[in-house]
Amino acid sequence: MEYARTCQGCGAVLHDEHPTREGYVPPSVFARSHDGAPITCQRCFRLLHYHKPSTVVASSEAFSTMLHDVGQQSGLVVHVVDIADCEATWIDALPRFVGERPIVLVANKMDVLPRGTSLTRMRDRVWQFARAQSWRVSDVHVVSAVQRIGTASLAQALARHARVFFVGATNVGKSTLVNALTAGVTDHRLTVSAMPKTTLQAVHVALPDARTYVDTPGIVYGRRLIERVPHAHVLRMRGEMRPVTLPLRSGQALHIGDYVCCEAVSPVPSITCYVAYTVSVRRQKQRSTHVAPLVDEAHGGEDVSWKPVRRRVTMPARAVIDIAIGGLGWLCVHADDQAVALDVWTPPGILVVDRPPWIGGKST
């Protein structure tokens, strides 16, 4: 029986027939793959060497099928979330697929948080969030796969499991994490890039001690702004945040990038923006009605016909809260002796949720 050959980087089945489909390799390369040597598809090759994405056809239904398959197999499930976008990268339906099996949570990208941020405090925040969702969580790890912070202790915790599945939303760093955990152990390297949906099929990484890590495709969530804008690289966090703090008088507006605006209904003593340093933060006398284009997922191209939606946030005197915005980051808002009210304007469907402060102070 001849098994289908797959790309070692993204897991797609290799072929030489359709250049626009996942797994394509030129015929000359495909002909050389019969000797069993590892092969990288053209898409992964371009991502690795030129940071150049290729257009491929991928089915969104495949993600639900993948979760179902994970639930049907034995093994530990590791849910990887972006620590700077925890709520929006959370797979709400995961317990439905894995049943009563406990889940290990890994909050990745600790390296993007401001210097001096307490790892213990962030771990506690993730634990609290998981408990609020009534999940069965066996452990929580806060790591930076890029800087290898916390990966050694995670690898030790996973060592007693024969098979480990890594699941999560797109670009939370699953493949980077698997590469960090297997560095020096195996030569198998997953394709890693800032492009969404880099991993297209489940990739099985065999370890020398007969264990297996399974990297799965990222789940695309439209509630994340980074998935909805034409130039997502501007929103992507590539290094340490540089928080910006400003007060707002009543009626003033704080524009965060081209898609989010906070409009002060009452005076706001302090708003701190925890977003990528490439995102502009501008205070203006009033909210701009300019609409930047979004990606038109239904018809392709760009959509400029959308209308911002408003969410009003109120807080009592002397309170401190975070306002998390899916695919962007979060804001930390401080009130003084007076209650505060502000309107958060975003594109339709973007997740906006308030929570206790994760970094910037203590709520009362």
* Annotated domain spans of the chain: 1-57, 59-221, 232-355
| CATH T-level fold of 59-221 | Rossmann fold (3.40.50)
Q: Where do the H-state alpha helices sit in the chain?
A: 27-31, 42-50, 61-72, 94-98, 119-132, 151-158, 174-182
What lies within 8 Å, CB to CB, of 31 at 6+ separation is 16
183 vs 187: CA distance, rounded Å: 8
Residue 100 is predicted with a pLDDT of: 81
SS3 285: coil
190 vs 216: CA distance, rounded Å: 11
Residue 54 is predicted with a pLDDT of: 40
- The CB-side HSE value for 26 (13 A sphere, CA atoms) comes to 4
171 vs 186: CA distance, rounded Å: 23
Partner residues linked to 260 by β-bridges: 256
Q: Is the pTM of this model over 0.75?
A: yes
Residue 361 is predicted with a pLDDT of: 62
Could you tell me if residue 168 is left (phi over 0), alpha (psi between -120 and 50 degrees) or otherwise beta?
left
Summarised one tens digit per residue, pLDDT across range 350-360 is 999 999 999 97
Residue 192 is predicted with a pLDDT of: 45
Say how many C-beta atoms besides its own lie within 10 A of residue 213's C-beta. 27
Contact 201, 217 (CB under 8 A): yes
Partner residues linked to 345 by β-bridges: 261, 310
Residue 364 is predicted with a pLDDT of: 42
Residue 297 is predicted with a pLDDT of: 58
Residue 72 is predicted with a pLDDT of: 86
DSSP-assigned letters across all residues of 129-194: HHHHTT--EEEEEE-BTTTTBSHHHHHHHHTT-SEEEEEEBTTSSHHHHHHHHHTTT-S------S
Contact 321, 328 (CB under 8 A): no
Residue 53 is predicted with a pLDDT of: 41
352 vs 345: CA distance, rounded Å: 9
The list of the chain residues with pLDDT below 70 reads 1-4, 8-11, 20, 32-38, 43-62, 186-201, 296-301, 361-364
Residue 74 is predicted with a pLDDT of: 87
H helix count then E strand count, the chain: 7, 18
Q: How far is CA 226 from CA 39, 248, 312, in A?
A: 31, 26, 22
Residue 52 is predicted with a pLDDT of: 44
Residue 315 is predicted with a pLDDT of: 96
